[in-house]
Amino acid sequence: MEKFNFVRDGVIRLPLGFRFQPTDEELVFQYLKCKVFSRPLPASIIPEINVSKYDPWDLPGDLEQEKYFFSNKEAKYQIGNRSNRATNSGYWKASGTDKQITSSRNSQLVGMKKTLVFYRGKPPYDSRTDWVMHEYRLLIAGAPQPKNTPSSSSIQMEDWVLCRVFLKRRTRADHHEATESCSSGITEVSSSESDHEESSSTAGYNFFH
């Protein structure tokens, strides 16, 4: 079977009429799992890049479209165990609680999704932007547990993560709230990023079904 390669110069380039709109389960089980275990991917469509080293608007790809990347495990701060998500112009900050991703076949837990929002500047003079990232991590059931870790039926495989980056479109309510906040000297938008909906359908071609 011929292997399709849709990545050119670090950018996804699909033929006209094609769309890449995988579900959370497909991203974790079909792509991230294959990447972690060095297995053939369904299609060479997701480039590799260290997302934390770039401001979101400098990442390869169209600003108006969702971007998908495989990224290496993030570096940690020298003190503590928090991931270093700082870029040249700001930093990524987690928003809400992580979402569990389960298999549609047997309801088994296969991964986790973390939602992050990009802030420009540094605290306390930072400002929230409309850039959002969904970070996917793989969970392996029944894998051997490292020492000194809580017992669990699954552990996170963190050598690779899969990132979906997009610019959240404001609704009229968002715009009205932001306008009122700006008038008081504060720039803020609503935090509905975690409700971003995914669709498994594609136009003209389906990678999975």
DSSP 122-154: -TTS-EEEEEEEEEEEEEEETPPPPTTS---SE
Q: How far apart are CA 129 and CA 109, in angstroms?
A: 32
Q: Do 10 and 197 meet the contact criterion of CB atoms below 8 Å apart? A: no
Q: Which helix (H) or strand (E) holds 71?
A: strand 67-72
The residues, ordered by sequence, that sit 6+ positions from 7 with a Cβ below 8 Å of its Cβ are: 13, 44, 45, 46, 47
Please indicate, yes or no, whether the overall pTM of this predicted structure exceeds 0.95.
Answer: no
**169: number of Cβ within 10 Å:** 9
Q: Parallel, antiparallel, or unpaired: how do β-strands 11-12 and 7-8 relate? A: antiparallel
Q: Do 159 and 137 meet the contact criterion of CB atoms below 8 Å apart? A: no
Say how many residues make up the chain: 209
Q: Name the one residue in this structure whose structure tokens are 């990009």.
A: 118
What does the pLDDT profile of the chain (209 residues) look like in tens digits?
Answer: 445 555 655 555 656 666 778 999 999 999 999 999 999 998 888 999 999 889 999 999 888 889 999 998 665 555 555 667 899 999 999 999 999 999 999 999 999 999 999 999 999 999 999 999 999 999 976 544 444 444 444 556 667 999 999 999 876 655 555 545 444 444 443 444 444 444 443 333 344 43
